[in-house]
């Protein structure tokens, strides 16, 4: 299955908008390998801030569908390293292009955080001022349907409509899949601005299915337990859209990145991450401790 790396930098704008994210994110994004620190107003930076050796400051985005899982994992990582954990929740009111997101990341990682958890990871995804931990989990986009007889996109007849969030990694993957089908079997991809409206249209029969980031669907079902029954189907290999998530740091924090990578590796090996996925309900969708890389 394709991994998030196939999305490159285009994933980031959608990730912030959907999650993530991102959905996690999760099409235009901030420039990869670009210099962003020169664009930051230096008066916004708390250059005087002292770091402490016994506390890791974690940040998370408020719209991330994996927020609860990410926080539990951050707490477990801090315990592994015998330090305290502090948390700050950041807003993510960005447009589809993620304008100024990179600059805000730089300011947050200078003033408020040592590391931001719940970030989508891919090669060359972030400017040179940032480094990432190894992935601690991977999640897939899935097909959601209201008809139990539909087992996959191949069971949806040509001409039927399938929804996906506009600008998301899943929308792009759906479009590429449709382009490979014979003309008489092609589905119609409909872009939506939010998951709730897309679910409404799924349940009223306007669309035959929807391609959605797995954690976003779990979050929606937890918040709307009385909605009609929705069935989750894995996407076929030819459309598979997998997202690895991890932590983002400033490049100067390479030593902390090394420590976090060691803690993540231990938690993958001893089953901690798998247990946290189950505790937060994310084991009901395709999920991979340690990511898909």
Percent pLDDT > 90 in the chain is: 60
**Cβ pair 50, 112 in contact under 8 A:** no
Q: Which residues contact 183 (CB under 8 A, 6 or more apart)?
A: none
Phi, psi dihedrals of residue 150, rounded to the nearest 5°: -85, 115
**Cβ pair 273, 137 in contact under 8 A:** yes
> Domains of the chain, with CATH numbers?
4-139+242-289 (3.40.190.10), 140-234 (3.40.190.10)
Q: Is the pLDDT of residue 100 over 80?
A: no
The mean pLDDT of the chain is: 82
Work out whether strand 84-90 and strand 242-250 pair parallel, antiparallel, or are unpaired: unpaired
Predicted confidence at residue 38, as pLDDT, reads 56
Q: Residue 255: which of 139, 73, 93, 133 has the closest Cα? A: 133
**Cβ pair 63, 132 in contact under 8 A:** no
Q: Is the pLDDT of residue 29 over 60?
A: no
Per residue in 171-182, pLDDT (tens digit) is 999 999 999 999
Q: Is the pLDDT of residue 217 over 70?
A: yes
HSE of 196 in the Cβ direction (CA atoms, 13 Å)?
5
- Could you give the CA distance from residue 212 to residue 231 in angstroms, rounded to a whole number? 12
Which runs of E-coded beta strand occur in the chain?
A: 55-61, 84-90, 115-121, 130-132, 137-145, 161-165, 188-192, 209-213, 231-234, 242-250, 287-289
The residue that leads in pLDDT, 101 or 171, is 171
State the sign of the Cα–Cα–Cα–Cα dihedral 161, 197, 201, 222. Answer: positive
Q: Residue 121: which of 201, 215, 21, 225 has the closest Cα? A: 21
- Of 65-69, 136-140, 228-232, give the lowest mean pLDDT range: 228-232
**Cβ pair 15, 96 in contact under 8 A:** no
Beta bridge partners of 243: 139
- Could you give the CA distance from residue 134 to residue 118 in angstroms, rounded to a whole number? 12
Work out whether strand 188-192 and strand 209-213 pair parallel, antiparallel, or are unpaired: unpaired
- Could you give the CA distance from residue 16 to residue 31 in angstroms, rounded to a whole number? 15
Q: How far is CA 144 from CA 13, 67, 168, 259, in A?
A: 23, 22, 16, 38
3-state secondary structure of 144: strand
Predicted confidence at residue 48, as pLDDT, reads 52
Per residue in 257-285, pLDDT (tens digit) is 999 999 999 999 999 999 999 999 999 99
Q: Which residues of 210-221 are buried (b: 16+ CB within 10 A; e: fewer)?
A: bbbbbbbbbbbb
3-state secondary structure of 272: helix
């Amino acid at each position: 299955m394709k991994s998030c790396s196939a999305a490159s930098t285009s994933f980031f704008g959608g990730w912030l908008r959907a999650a993530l994210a991102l959905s996690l994110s999760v099409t235009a994004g901030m420039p990869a390998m670009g210099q962003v620190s020169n664009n930051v107003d230096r008066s916004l930076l708390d250059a005087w801030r002292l770091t402490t050796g016994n506390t890791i400051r974690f940040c998370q985005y408020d719209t991330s569908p994996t927020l609860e899982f990410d926080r539990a994992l951050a707490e477990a990582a801090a315990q592994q390293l015998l330090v305290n954990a502090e948390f700050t929740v950041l807003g993510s009111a960005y447009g589809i292009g993620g304008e100024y997101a990179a600059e805000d990341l730089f300011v947050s990682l200078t003033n408020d955080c040592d590391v931001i958890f719940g970030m989508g990871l891919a090669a060359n995804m972030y400017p040179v001022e940032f480094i990432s931990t190894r992935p601690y989990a991977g999640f897939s986009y899935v097909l959601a349907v209201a008809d139990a007889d539909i087992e996959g996109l191949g069971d949806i007849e040509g001409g039927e409509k399938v929804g996906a969030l506009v600008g998301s990694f899943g929308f792009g993957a759906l479009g590429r899949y449709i382009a490979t089908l014979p003309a008489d079997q092609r589905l119609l991809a409909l872009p939506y601005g939010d998951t709730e409206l897309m679910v409404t249209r799924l349940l009223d029969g306007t669309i035959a299915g929807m391609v959605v980031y797995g954690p976003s669907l779990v979050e929606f079902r937890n918040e709307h337990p009385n909605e009609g029954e929705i069935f989750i189907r894995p996407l076929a290999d030819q459309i598979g859209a997998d997202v690895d998530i991890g932590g983002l740091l400033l490049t100067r924090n390479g030593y902390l990145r090394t420590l976090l990578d060691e803690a993540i590796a231990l938690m993958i090996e001893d089953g901690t991450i798998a247990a946290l996925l189950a505790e937060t309900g994310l084991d009901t969708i395709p999920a991979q401790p340690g990511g898909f890389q």
